[in-house]
Copies of this chain bind each other. A is one copy, B any other.
């Protein structure tokens, strides 16, 4: 393309951007809304999976040592535990602390220690955290084989449920994101197609007057890009402000809720939205124009 043609393309893109202002606004808003829904869904799914991951990370194996194990041996056992593959963290709870914890759970007025007359029927305990919840049964099986272990407990039922649930959540999230991705893709391209449709006569006239396909498409490409970019920018700004508000509100009223506050990930999502919006706008109008070029 010659310089003059490139200059023309930019001039024409801006001209048409302003001259069809109603249409421009409508398509920018559609792009913004579609990407807003997409971005919102992405954040929702990512956060729910983050929460799922957090819940999984809370799972621990409670391991009760045999009564005849000395305190020293008990502490030494920790080394063996940490060396097991998949074990992430190990915490020792001496039987005294275990009794205290149990007593606390009945409220301050029930004095179990007194009732026991100085006896403590509870065992020394280890709390073991595993890197991946899926490894818990396996790690538990390994631990159970040690002589020092009297019994262990990790809520088999609960862990199974949790694994099922988080897997389900991951699959559902994926399906939802893919669905919304296609939906926003369709919404953006349809709107842009309709705006081009309103100008189909103009396109064919240009062709009759001797304009090449490239020459006709270039301004549409640029205009589509502008519309996509501006729409995406609006969605990103709204998303940024809204997510900030939601997270702040959540952290203040539900402080224990694990939410993604990692800026890098957010910026990454925003980057994809900007790129995707611009790309869809440009491609959408290019493809829409093609339909009317064949004259």
* A residues in contact (CB < 8 Å) with B: 23, 26, 29-30, 33-34, 36-37, 40, 64, 102, 105-112, 114-117, 119-123, 150-153, 161, 164-165, 167-168, 172, 176, 180, 183, 186-187, 190-191, 193-195, 197-198, 246, 249-250, 253-254, 256-257
Question: Nearest B residue to A22 by beta-carbon distance?
Answer: B197
- CB pair A193 B26 closer than 8 Å: yes
Which residues on the B side are within 8 Å of A122 (C-beta)? 106, 110, 112
Complex-state Cα separation, A198 to B102, whole angstroms = 75
Count this chain's copies in the assembly: 2
**Whole-angstrom distance between the Cβ of A184 and the nearest chain B Cβ:** 9
Complex-state Cα separation, A292 to B109, whole angstroms = 80
**Whole-angstrom distance between the Cβ of A291 and the nearest chain B Cβ:** 9
- CB pair B194 A26 closer than 8 Å: yes
Which residues on the B side are within 8 Å of A108 (C-beta)? 151
Which residues on the B side are within 8 Å of A197 (C-beta)? 23, 194, 198
- CB pair A254 B194 closer than 8 Å: no
Complex-state Cα separation, A23 to B150, whole angstroms = 73
11 A-B pairs besides A26-B193, A30-B187 with CB distance below 8 A are A26-B190, A37-B183, A64-B109, A106-B153, A110-B122, A114-B121, A115-B119, A115-B121, A161-B254, A187-B187, A190-B191
Question: Nearest B residue to A117 by beta-carbon distance?
Answer: B119
- CB pair A33 B187 closer than 8 Å: yes
**Whole-angstrom distance between the Cβ of A93 and the nearest chain B Cβ:** 12
- CB pair B254 A165 closer than 8 Å: yes
- CB pair A29 B186 closer than 8 Å: yes
- CB pair A37 B180 closer than 8 Å: yes
Complex-state Cα separation, A198 to B209, whole angstroms = 23
